[in-house]
Structure 1
């Protein structure tokens, strides 16, 4: 019985480790997620639209040099207006990485040009 209870405790705690955040620094291109996901819009030709969309409140993302796409947010608040000035440019983002269900989120993000 003690082994069974111990196994249940291990399983319960194992799930919480999936959501543990780690500090990261990721380089890549800052994108407007809606246009990027909808029609792969990015780069210099999309810069004006990206700034408009981010200023309007659409979510920013980072297309990392590692090939992953990250959602970026401030400290549990939107960061789009701050990110707008860097739309479709190469930047470095520092923050806490969490991943779930195939999505990657950098929270408490600091954008470095």
Structure 2
């Protein structure tokens, strides 16, 4: 029983490190995640559609210059109203990075044109 409890505590501690947020600044292209993931839509050709989708509430993301794809959100709320004007444009995003199970999230995001 003691070994089992120790193993559970160890997994909990290790798991909490996976969810520890750190401050980051990431440059890249602000994308509409649905169109980007579905059919790699991005860039100037997609700008009108990207704005429509983000304005309708679909999640905005950042295709980072580092090759990673990030979901971006405000302080536990959508950031769509701010993000819509930057759809498919190069921006810098500052915020807290959390990664889990292969997904990357920048929360409390600030979009800098």
Is this a same-fold pair by TM over 0.5? yes
Residue 69 of structure 2 is aligned to residue 76 of structure 1: no
1:17-61 CA-partner distances (Å, limit 9, x unpaired): 110000000000000000000111000000011011111000000
TM-superposed deviation, 1:71? 0.2
Tell which deviates more after alignment, 8-17 or 90-99.
Answer: 8-17
Aligned residue number for residue 45 of structure 1: 45
Which whole-Å CA distance do the structure 2 matches of 1:69 and 1:104 have between them? 7
Unaligned runs of 5+ residues in structure 2 are none
Count of aligned positions: 112
- Provide Cα deviations, 1:53-80, integer angstroms capped at 9, x if missing partner: 1110000000000000000000000011
Write the distance in 1 (CA, Å) between the matches of 2:103 and 2:59: 14
2:108 is matched with which residue? Answer: 108
Counterpart-to-counterpart distance in 1, 2:57 and 2:107: 17
> Offset of 1:6 from its aligned partner?
6.2
Match of 1:56 in 2: 56
Looking at structure 1, the residues matched to 87 and 8 of structure 2 have their Cα atoms a distance apart, in angstroms, of 47
SS in 2 for 1:93: strand
How far did 1:110 drift?
A: 0.1
TM-score (norm 1): 0.91
CA distance in 2, matches of 1:11, 1:50: 40
TM-score (norm 2): 0.91
1:14 deviates by 1.8
